[in-house]
Amino acid sequence: MATINELRERIHAESSEEIVHEYLEKIAESKLNAFITVSGESALARARKIDSEGHEGPLAGIPIAIKDNISTKGIRTTCASKILTGYIPPYDAHVIERLKEAGAIIIGKANMDEFAMGTSTETSFYGATKNPWDIERVPGGSSGGSAAAVAGDDVPLALGSDTGGSVRCPASFCGVVGLKPTYGVISRYGLIAYANSLEQIGPFATSVRDVATLFDVIAGYDARDSTSVKRDVNYSSAMKNDVRGLKIGVPEEYFGEGTDEKVEKAVRDAIHKLEDLGASLKDVKMPHTKYALASYYIIAMSEASSNLARFDGMRYGLRVEDSDWHTTFSQVRAAGFGDEVKRRILLGTYALSAGYHDKYYLKALKVRTLIKQDFERAFKNVDVLITPTMPYPAFRLGEKIGDPLSLYLADVDTVPINLAGVPSISVPCGFSEGLPIGMQIIGKHFDEATILRTAYTFEENTDFHIKQPEGV
């Protein structure tokens, strides 16, 4: 596995074309099914152009995988759904524009749970992605393709999106670094919405430094997203091996029932490691955590039921002709959406319906406010919160897919962060029977610098991130 700096040196010495070619070969030989679309020709053409003309961007000539719910001009974008069959976007998402300006080369579109609805990348119409540490196991989700591709060295960098843990969960299961930024830091323009009020695009890499570099490229204000925030940032400058004086909060609510013993031990060991390095620990109470899952799923499904209404086969995507438009819409949606997507649309529609709206949707919003207040209160006394990212390591393919509720429960430690809109990063902090364990470091709104510094310091003083899956 190579870092951005190593790749830059190789591109300088050899060429971007050679690097891209090498990764394309790896992708072709990969058993992970991490990609839905590989844009080899356009990637090579772009690499040749950068080689001949030169490029000063921080990612010049470096290949990257893009989760397939981010709009890429001229490259089909499927959301891993049958319903977007044949859809080739006429425009680039804001993050894609930023990547192109930085010289990055889009090598392909990464597999995911259909419309980002899932925790295992098994709901993809294009088949499940496999975990490079054990190809019998899931890579996590919903950005499973992005995380597996980076962990399996199919590609050095990737973008995912995180609505309720969809970057951090696969980062944890695949043993890579994944960041969910503060809501509003990265423009969502071009991110195909699952639940708009919760989600952010996030970077994946094998090191905290590379995540910060990629984050620097894609973060920033965009007038096309009304929720985008104006801030000058330079996250790479946060790469300091120093946590002296850092106050760490450890919310016991995140180590509750259902948390694997080995996961708990690895995370507590990691926290003590940071304590040894000069940080101090504080107990914090986050009493509304237990309501987070219910609140999250109601809000996410409600928004999804509306966001996905546009997929009616009228203008793009799957088309099924029938007698009238009413029947045509139904036929297209019946044929185009998978079971999990249908389930969430139905539940979300129900939660917003007259007579249930106040009981579910409105109540979920109220709970969301309480959860935000939990974080605000905690952050009065601490700089970061540390928890397990996932309650357990990667499970087996097929193990939970028949039981949606147990899959939803897997998101217990990640969804409160999206409800609060705060930033959070998952970094490797141990192994359980050869499977990676992730630690979640949560920060204050817009304080990515502190969680990146904490993660970087941990990484500099441990070697969990160096270990690679066999065969890579």
Q: How far is the CB of 398 from another protein (least distance, A)?
A: 30
Nearer to another protein, 349 or 406 (CB): 349
CB of 220 to another protein, least distance (A): 16
Considering the complex, state which of residue 204 and residue 361 has its C-beta at the smaller distance from another protein.
361
Instruction: Return the number of the residue (243 or 352) whose C-beta is nearest another protein.
Output: 352
Residue among 247 and 357 whose Cβ is closer to another protein: 357
What are the residue numbers of the active site? 67, 142, 166
Q: Output the smallest distance, CB 200 to another protein, in A.
A: 13
CB of 206 to another protein, least distance (A): 28
Cβ-based nearer residue to another protein, 45 or 294: 294
SS3 of the chain: the string is CCCHHHHHHHHHHCCHHHHHHHHHHHHHHCCCCCEEEECHHHHHHHHHHHHHHCCCCCCCCCEEEEECCECECCECCCCCCHHHCCCCCCCCCHHHHHHHHCCCEEEEEECCCHHHCCCCCCCCCCCCCCECCECCECCCCCCHHHHHHHHCCCCCEEEEEECCCCCHHHHHHHCCEEEECCCCCECCCCECCCCCCCCEEEEEECCHHHHHHHHHHHCECCCCCCCCCCCCCCHHHHCCCCCCCCEEEEEHHHHCCCCCHHHHHHHHHHHHHHHHCCCEEEEECCCCHHHHHHHHHHHHHHHHHHHHHHCCCCCCCCCCCCCCHHHHHHHHHHHHCCHHHHHHHHHHHHHHCCCCCHHHHHHHHHHHHHHHHHHHHHCCCCCEEEEECCCCCCCECCCCCCCHHHHHHCCCCCHHHHHHCCCEEEEEEEEECCEEEEEEEEECCCCHHHHHHHHHHHHHCCCCCCCCCCCC
CB of 126 to another protein, least distance (A): 17
- State the residues that interact with another protein by CB under 8 A: 69-71, 77, 79, 84, 87, 89-91, 93, 188-193, 195-197, 223-227, 302-303, 305-306, 308-312, 314-316, 325-326, 329, 349, 352-354, 357, 361
